[in-house]
Amino acid sequence: MDLLLDTHTFIWFINGDNSLPEQVREDIRNIDNRCFISIASLWEMAIKLSLDKLQLKADFNKVAEFLAENDIEILPITFEHIQKLQKLKFHHRDPFDRIIIAQGATEKLIILTKDENFNKYQVKTRWK
């Protein structure tokens, strides 16, 4: 499977948070799956860290190492993603989630998210 981690999914994974279902954790760790995180998620995390609205167990500067160690690739934002974003209905107003939805739809990725708003769009999600 090709998987795109929602921001909260990655945060719970890196923090070892029990809120992340074991099956989702296994999906991320499964070497047969290709995992991605949007550059928008990293941007969102950096903003929330600077505003003291997010705590990470690891230093943010170590995130790149963590991604490499866990075979999680950074998905850049492309013009095609922005074109898809422009056409999305406003079921969900969070700009970071909207670009993740657009990226998932464009790249045909399964998004690992607990956010039920994602189901209002033409994207595949997974959360067990």
Tokens 């997010």 found at:
54
Q: Domain of 104: which CATH number?
A: 3.40.50.1010
Angle at 109 between CA 114 and CA 49, to 5 degrees: 50
Q: How many domains does the chain divide into?
A: 1
**pTM of this prediction?**
0.95
Instruction: Summarize the chain as % helix, strand, coil (round to 5).
Output: 50, 15, 35
Instruction: Summarize pLDDT for 61-111 with one digit per residue, the tens.
Output: 999 999 999 999 999 999 999 999 999 998 878 999 999 999 999 999 999
Q: What is the pLDDT of residues 15-43, one digit of tens each?
A: 999 999 999 999 999 999 999 999 999 99
Domain span holding position 45: 2-126
- Nearest-CA neighbor of 112 among 27, 32, 5, 33? 5
CB 21 within 8 A of CB 112: no
User: Which residues pair with residue 81 across a beta bridge?
Assistant: none
